[in-house]
Amino acid sequence: MLDDSTDLVQRDSSVRLWPVSSLLKAIADSLEARFNPVAVQGEISGFSRAASGHCYFSLKDDDGQIRCAMFRRAATLLDFQPRDGQWVELRGRLGVYEARGELQLIVESMRQAGQGTLFEQFLKLKAKLEAEGLFKADRKRDVPLMPRGIGVVTSLGAAALHDVVTALQRRVPHIPTIIYPASVQGVQAAGDLRDALLKAYQRCEVDVLLLVRGGGAMEDLWAFNDESLARTIAESPVPVICGVGHETDFTIADFCADMRAPTPTAAAELCAQPQAVWLGVLAAMATRLQNGLDRQVQTSSQRLDIVASNLSRPSHYVTRQHARLASYQQNLQHAQRTTVNSLQNRLDAMKTRLSQAVARGSALPKDRLTQANMRLELLSPQLVLRRGYAWIANTEGQAITRVSQTRTGQSVRATLMDGQVDLTVSSPRLI
């Protein structure tokens, strides 16, 4: 037994014993000598920017990942905003973070190299559902101001649940809050979320639903990019407010919901007007009602005082009534006189017009008769005879107008202006 221990000590003495810090420094030196500088391509995951301006994230592909740090000097040179799921090319130096003994890549430059697989899937599904009309603004519903109940779909162990319940208790402690538990991360999360929503639809006990979860990397939020979950949200009978992740995180559920909130707490605030606001509204309405009642009472009191004054002095009331009757009588008489005068004037005008019409009617036939006589006189044969012409006729009284109607020795009669002369044709000749 002693011999075996001695042999083991002798064999181990040939292996160098390293202090941890020295081993890490040696590994870092080996990396520097063999690999650096290095260029690597992969998908960003878990990106965060510290208050100091330094950026920390992981770069991954299907088979592995590496922690990355990009200090403020290099981060200020970026011409785009890195985000989870983005495919990038990095250039930097491999090293060892000695405080944790972790391999990390100190990034000196970054450029876009296409989009990551998850982000490409996200964009394809977004385009598909948008083409089907699931994101249209006209299908979005307004959140009720005073819901009878508020439903919350999230994990029972999520910090988002605590934030939402705290906000609701602070703002609307009088409205019941109903939790529909579901896992919010992992392979089964999308199915759990759908089941929780369907359960809320069947129960019909709330007027608005909050679908909430805290922040995380794109793969952590991937359940909220499920196509079936998106269609379930779109079929909701009540408005759905989606508050998933931080303000910069977007999921398919955000686009399908009736309203998107930047955080779970903001989702709670969007559906819950503070109780103090409604109490203030009630106080203002009570004040307006009281003021209206006071004005009504004052008006009624004034009318009652006037009636009481009239009853206490009936003679004064009678005098006023007599004065009103006298005024009415005077107005009536004046109206009668005005009407009679107007009618008399109209009658006189009608008489004048009638006389003028009769005079015109009798003068017109006389003028016509005179004109007819004048035309008749102009046509009279006597007028022609007065100008020296004679009317020649045979013995039968037929007028002779042509020489051919006469013969020598024929007896004719000439009618002149003042009588007749018998004549005998001596020798007819043509002109």
Tokens of 381: 């044969």
Most confident of 43-47, 295-299, 361-365, 370-374: 43-47
Q: How far apart are alpha carbons 364 and 371 in whole angstroms?
A: 11
Q: Judge contact between 121 and 87, C-beta under 8 A.
A: no
Q: How far apart are alpha carbons 40 and 60 in whole angstroms?
A: 10
Phi, psi dihedrals of residue 426, rounded to the nearest 5° = -95, -55
Q: In what order do the strands lie in the sheet with 150-154?
A: 177-181, 150-154, 208-213, 240-244, 259-260
pLDDT higher for 400 or 140?
140
pLDDT recorded at residue 352 = 86
pLDDT recorded at residue 320 = 79
Task: Give the three-state DSSP class for 263.
Answer: coil
Percent share of the chain, pLDDT over 70: 92
pLDDT recorded at residue 278 = 66
Q: Kindly tell me if the per-residue pLDDT of 2 is higher than 50.
A: no
pLDDT recorded at residue 252 = 92
Q: Kindly tell me if the per-residue pLDDT of 196 is higher than 80.
A: yes
Q: In this structure, which long-range contacts are made by residues 181-185, counting pairs with CB atoms below 8 Å and at least 24 apart in sequence?
A: 181/154, 181/155, 181/156, 182/153, 182/154, 182/155, 183/155, 183/223, 184/154, 184/155, 184/158, 184/213, 184/223, 184/224, 185/155, 185/213, 185/216, 185/220, 185/221, 185/223
Q: Kindly tell me if the per-residue pLDDT of 335 is higher than 60.
A: yes
pLDDT digit string (tens) for 343-363?
888 888 888 888 888 777 777
Q: Angle 189-203/227-234 helices, nearest 10 degrees?
A: 10
First to last CA, the chain: 196
Class of domain 147-273: alpha beta
pLDDT digit string (tens) for 283-331?
788 888 888 887 888 888 778 877 777 666 666 767 778 888 888 888 8
Burial class of residue 272 in the structure, from the number of CB atoms within 10 Å of its CB (0-12 exposed, 13-18 middle, 19+ buried): buried
Q: Which amino acid is at 14?
A: S
Report the CATH superfamily, name and number, of domain 20-115: Nucleic acid-binding proteins (2.40.50.140)
* Helix ranges, 235-274 (H): 252-256, 264-270
Q: How far apart are alpha carbons 257 and 234 in whole angstroms?
A: 7
pLDDT digit string (tens) for 398-427?
888 888 888 888 888 888 888 888 888 888
Q: How far apart are alpha carbons 334 and 336 in whole angstroms?
A: 5
Lowest mean pLDDT among 76-80, 148-152, 278-282: 278-282
Residue range(s) in the chain whose domain bears CATH number 2.40.50.140: 20-115
Q: Angle 275-312/314-379 helices, nearest 10 degrees?
A: 90
pLDDT digit string (tens) for 167-184?
998 888 888 999 999 999
> Which residues touch 172 (CB under 8 Å, ≥6 apart)?
150, 272, 273, 274, 275
Mean pLDDT of 105-129: 82
What is the average pLDDT score of the chain? 84
pLDDT recorded at residue 193 = 94
* Helix ranges, 211-256 (H): 227-234, 252-256
Closest CA to 184 of 209, 159, 149: 159
Number of neighbouring beta carbons within 10 Å of residue 201: 16
* Bridge partners, 150 (sequence order): 177, 208
Mean pLDDT of 160-170: 90
pLDDT recorded at residue 10 = 47
Residue range(s) in the chain whose domain bears CATH number 3.40.50.2300: 147-273
Q: Kindly tell me if the per-residue pLDDT of 200 is higher than 60.
A: yes
Mean pLDDT of 29-34: 74
Closest CA to 408 of 396, 398, 423, 393: 423
DSSP element (H, E) containing 131:
helix 117-131
Phi, psi dihedrals of residue 221, rounded to the nearest 5° = -95, 5
pLDDT recorded at residue 195 = 95
Q: How far apart are alpha carbons 245 and 48 in whole angstroms?
A: 13
Q: Is residue 13 very low, low, confident or very high in pLDDT (cuts 50, 70, 90)?
A: low
Q: Is residue 191 very low, low, confident or very high in pLDDT (cuts 50, 70, 90)?
A: very high
Closest CA to 242 of 219, 271, 222, 217: 271
